[in-house]
Chain A
Amino acid sequence: MIAQTEYSKEKKVGEGTYAVVYVGTKLSNERRIAIKEIKTSGFKDGLDMSAIREVKYLQEMQHVNVIELVDVFMAQKNLNLVLEFLPADLEMIIKDTSILFTQADIKSWLLMTLRGVHHCHRNFILHRDLKPNNLLLAPDGQLKLADFGLARNMGSPQDFLTSNVVTRWYRAPELLFGARHYTGAVDIWSVGIIFAELMLRIPYLPGKDDIDQIDVTFRALGTPTDRDWPEISTFGTYNKIQVYPPPSREELRRRFIAATENALNLMCGMLTMNPHKRFDPTQCLTSEYFVELPEPTTPSELPKLTPK
C-alpha cells in the first residue's frame, strides 16, 4: 500500500456526488497533482461503479491526450485517485468571451481530441461522455480526455448496452432512439458536435429535454430516412417524429461561416446519421482538413484562460 504521505492535499477544488477533488503536490518531485477522493460511505453496494470504471480504464491507457492516472491509494477507508493536474477545460475556454481563437486553434483542439478518442477505441474502450467540460487542458496546452466514469468496453455484438449515456446535447441519434447495440460511433458524434460548438462558440444542439433533443437534432441536420439508414424503422420512436429535410450545403456554409469545405466535410462525416457510415477516428484523422492550411496551432501556443 502506498502511503498517502507521498502526496499533500492542499485545496478542495470540487465536489461531486461520489468524489471530492483536491489540488495537491507529489512530495518527492514537487509535481502538481489532483487527488480525487472517492466517497465510500453511504454506498450500500460497496465501491461505486463510476470509480471502478475510472480506475479500470485509466490504468490501461498511457497517451498524451488521455488524462494520466498517476497513482491509486487507500487512506482512511477511502479510495484516492491521483491524477495529473489539469487546471482548465474546453468549456471554460469556449465560454470565456474575452478569449479570441482562430481556425488553427480549433483544428489543434479537435486534433488532440480525436487522437485521444482514437487511442480509446483502439483499446476497445468507449468513453460515452464526451463534451467540452470533459476535455481538460494541461498547462502546456495539451488537451486530455477525462472522466471515464461512464466508459465501458466495446462489447461483443450480442451484448446489450444502455442507451442512457452521454450528456444530452452530445448524444448520437442512435442513442436518442434508444439503441441497445452501438459502437465507437457514439463518441465520434459527440466530437462532431464539439467541433461545431468550437466554430459557433455556443452549444450546437441544445435540447431542453430528451424529446426536444430529437427535434433539435433533426431540425438542424435533417431527419434520417431508411434510404440512408435502413435499420432506422426498427426503432419504435422513429415513426412518431417530425420529418425535416437535411440542410443544404449552402445552409451549412451560412451557419458555419468561417469553415472551409474540408472542415464541413469532416464535420458532416462525424455527424452522419447512420452510425455505420459515420467517420471512424482514422477517417477523421486522415481527413483533408488536417492537411490543408492553416496548420494546427502548437499546443503551447493555444489561447489560455485569462487569470482572474
Chain B
Amino acid sequence: MTTSINETAAQKTAVPSSIRITDDDLYRHSTQYRIWSFTPERLTQIRTEINARAGAKVEEELKNFFASHLDLSPEEKEAVKSKAVPVTTHEELLLVNYFARMILSFAGKMNLPTEVAATAVAFFRRFFLSNSILDFPPKEVFHTSLFFACKTENYFIGVESFAKKAKTTTEAILKHEFKLLESLNFTLMNHHPYKALHGFFLDIQNVLSSRVDMSYMGQVYTNCKRSISDALLTDAVYFYTPPQITLAILLMEDEALMMRYMQLKFGLQVEDEEAKVQSTQDADSQSPITINAAKLLEVIKSCKSVIENKIIPAKDDAVKITAKMHYCQKPMAVVQRMKRQREASSTAATPLPGEADAKKQKT
C-alpha cells in the first residue's frame, strides 16, 4: 500500500510533498489508540478508582441499613458485616474476565463471526473501565455487549431472534444499550489482531518462500487465531497494537520460525554468524524498512509476557464474588438466611455458607 497522499499543484505550495502520513500515524489517530490505550500504571489507577468509588457507596448504604434496622441482634449485625463486604479491585477484574471468557464461548455456540466475538469482549471489558460490577452486574451487560457488537460489526440480528437464541429477553438485552454506548465514549471501531495475523501469515510465506511448509503454516495460522482470542482477554490489548500482539503470539507459537522471519524481514541481528550473513543479503533485496529490529523484539517479548500472564478465574471465584455483590446490594438477605438456617438447623444439613443465595445469582 502506498503511504503518500500525492500532493497536487495547488497544494505543493502549501505543504512540502515530503510529508507523508504513515500507517502508524493513522493508527495513532484511531480511537483505539487515543482513548483505549493505557500505560499499566494508568490502567491500575482507573480500576482502583472505580472500585473505591463503588466500595464507598456500598459502605454508605450499609451504614444507612444499620441505621434503619436498629432491631438487629448483635449476631445478625456481625453476620451482615462479615458477608456484605465490598469486592476488591482484583475481584472485579476476576469476575469481568470470567464473563468475558464466557462471551467468547457463547459467541462460538451462536456461530457468530470471530470479529463480532472479539468486539463484544472489547466492549464488555471497556464498559468496566468506567463502571463497577457493584453498579452493573456483569451478567446484565453480557448479552448487551454481544448484541451491540453484532450491530457495530455489521452482522445484524434482530433483537427478538437474538433473545431467542441467547435464551433471554429483549428488554434485558436493550436495557443497558445506551449506558454501554455512553461508557464506550461513543467510540465503536475496533482493530483486532486477526487482520494482522492474516497479513503476517502471507508475508512470512513470501519472505521465507521455499523454506516453510504450507500445511504447517496453515496449522500455525489456526493455532494463532485461537491464541489471539485468548489474548483479547488480557491487558495486552490496552498496552500494545494489534500487529505487536500478533507478533508476540507468533513468537509463542514458533519461536524459531519467527526469529528467522524477523532476521529476514527487519534485519534482526543474531548470534549465529551464518544466519547473520544470510540476513543482510536478504534484507538488501527487500524494500528498506526503518524499524529498529532489536527494539521491536523487546516490545514483542514484553507483550508476550503480558499475554502469558493471563488470569483464568475459576467458577468458584465467580460464585464467591457474586455472593458478595448480592449481600452488598441486599444486606437483609444475610439476616433472612440466618433465620432460615436457625429454623432448619435441627432438621437437615444446612447448605454451605454463601452458596444458597449465590446460586440464584448465577446466569
A positions within 8 Å CB-CB of B: 1, 44-47, 49, 52-53, 55-57, 59-62, 72, 74, 77, 79, 108, 111, 115, 118, 122-123, 152-153, 156, 282, 285-286, 290-291, 295-296, 298
Closest 8 CB pairs of A and B: A56-B188, A72-B186, A290-B8, A286-B6, A45-B159, A46-B174, A46-B177, A296-B10
In the complex formed, the residue of A with least CB distance to B8 is A290
Q: How far is the CA of A59 from the CA of B187 in the complex (A)?
A: 6
Q: How far is the CA of A197 from the CA of B31 in the complex (A)?
A: 36
CB within 8 Å for A74 and B2 given contacts A52-B188, A296-B8: no
Contact with B9, one of A53, A62, A123, A290 (Cβ below 8 angstroms): A290
The smallest beta-carbon distance between A46 and chain B, in angstroms, is 5
From B50-58, B147-155, B311-319, B325-333, give the one contacting chain A: B147-155
Name the A residues within 8 Å of B9 (CB-CB): 290-291, 295-296
Contact with B186, one of A49, A59, A156, A298 (Cβ below 8 angstroms): A59
A60 and B189 form a contact (CB under 8 A): yes
A156 and B195 form a contact (CB under 8 A): yes
Contact with B177, one of A47, A59, A290 (Cβ below 8 angstroms): A47
Name the B residues within 8 Å of A123 (CB-CB): 26
B158 interfacial contact with A, CB 8 Å: yes
B8 and A59 form a contact (CB under 8 A): no
Q: How far is the CA of A52 from the CA of B188 in the complex (A)?
A: 8
A57 and B189 form a contact (CB under 8 A): yes
Name the B residues within 8 Å of A59 (CB-CB): 31, 186-189
B8 and A291 form a contact (CB under 8 A): yes
A156 and B177 form a contact (CB under 8 A): no
The smallest beta-carbon distance between A18 and chain B, in angstroms, is 14
B10 and A74 form a contact (CB under 8 A): no
Q: How far is the CA of A60 from the CA of B26 in the complex (A)?
A: 9
Q: How far is the CA of A62 from the CA of B147 in the complex (A)?
A: 28
Name the B residues within 8 Å of A285 (CB-CB): 5-6, 8
In the complex formed, the residue of A with least CB distance to B189 is A60
Name the B residues within 8 Å of A47 (CB-CB): 148, 151, 177-178, 181
B29 and A62 form a contact (CB under 8 A): yes
Between B9, B148, B152, B174, the greatest number of chain A beta carbons within 10 A of the residue's beta carbon is seen for: B9
Name the B residues within 8 Å of A282 (CB-CB): 2, 4-6
B30 interfacial contact with A, CB 8 Å: yes
CB within 8 Å for A79 and B181 given contacts A46-B147, A57-B189, A295-B10: yes
B63 interfacial contact with A, CB 8 Å: no
In the complex formed, the residue of B with least CB distance to A152 is B154
The smallest beta-carbon distance between B290 and chain A, in angstroms, is 20
- Taking CB atoms and an 8 Å cut-off, the chain B residues in 64-105 that contact chain A are none
Name the B residues within 8 Å of A291 (CB-CB): 8-9
CB within 8 Å for A55 and B188 given contacts A60-B29, A111-B8, A122-B26: yes
The smallest beta-carbon distance between B112 and chain A, in angstroms, is 14
Name the B residues within 8 Å of A72 (CB-CB): 186
Q: How far is the CA of A186 from the CA of B158 in the complex (A)?
A: 28
B156 interfacial contact with A, CB 8 Å: yes
In the complex formed, the residue of A with least CB distance to B35 is A59
In the complex formed, the residue of B with least CB distance to A298 is B10
Q: How far is the CA of A1 from the CA of B189 in the complex (A)?
A: 20
Instruction: Please list 10 pairs of residues, one from A and one from B, whose beta carbons are closer than 8 Å in the complex, sorted by A's number.
Output: A44-B160, A45-B156, A46-B173, A46-B174, A49-B156, A57-B189, A60-B31, A79-B178, A285-B8, A286-B6
The smallest beta-carbon distance between B53 and chain A, in angstroms, is 16
Q: How far is the CA of A106 from the CA of B18 in the complex (A)?
A: 27
Q: How far is the CA of A19 from the CA of B298 in the complex (A)?
A: 50
Name the A residues within 8 Å of B29 (CB-CB): 60-62
B159 and A46 form a contact (CB under 8 A): yes
In the complex formed, the residue of A with least CB distance to B12 is A291
A56 and B159 form a contact (CB under 8 A): no
Q: How far is the CA of A179 from the CA of B5 in the complex (A)?
A: 29
In the complex formed, the residue of B with least CB distance to A78 is B178
With contacts A72-B186, A286-B8 known, what are 15 further pairs, Cβ within 8 A?
A1-B182, A44-B160, A44-B170, A46-B147, A46-B177, A49-B151, A52-B152, A56-B189, A60-B29, A60-B189, A77-B178, A79-B178, A152-B154, A153-B154, A286-B6
- Taking CB atoms and an 8 Å cut-off, the chain B residues in 119-152 that contact chain A are 147-148, 151-152
A74 and B152 form a contact (CB under 8 A): no
Name the B residues within 8 Å of A111 (CB-CB): 8, 10
Name the A residues within 8 Å of B189 (CB-CB): 56-57, 59-60
The smallest beta-carbon distance between A221 and chain B, in angstroms, is 26
B340 interfacial contact with A, CB 8 Å: no
- Taking CB atoms and an 8 Å cut-off, the chain B residues in 170-184 that contact chain A are 170, 173-174, 177-178, 181-182
The smallest beta-carbon distance between A32 and chain B, in angstroms, is 22
B226 interfacial contact with A, CB 8 Å: no
In the complex formed, the residue of A with least CB distance to B113 is A159
B178 and A74 form a contact (CB under 8 A): yes
The smallest beta-carbon distance between B69 and chain A, in angstroms, is 34
B198 interfacial contact with A, CB 8 Å: yes
Name the B residues within 8 Å of A61 (CB-CB): 29
Name the A residues within 8 Å of B154 (CB-CB): 53, 152-153
A118 and B30 form a contact (CB under 8 A): no
Q: How far is the CA of A118 from the CA of B9 in the complex (A)?
A: 17
Name the B residues within 8 Å of A298 (CB-CB): 10
Name the B residues within 8 Å of A55 (CB-CB): 186, 188
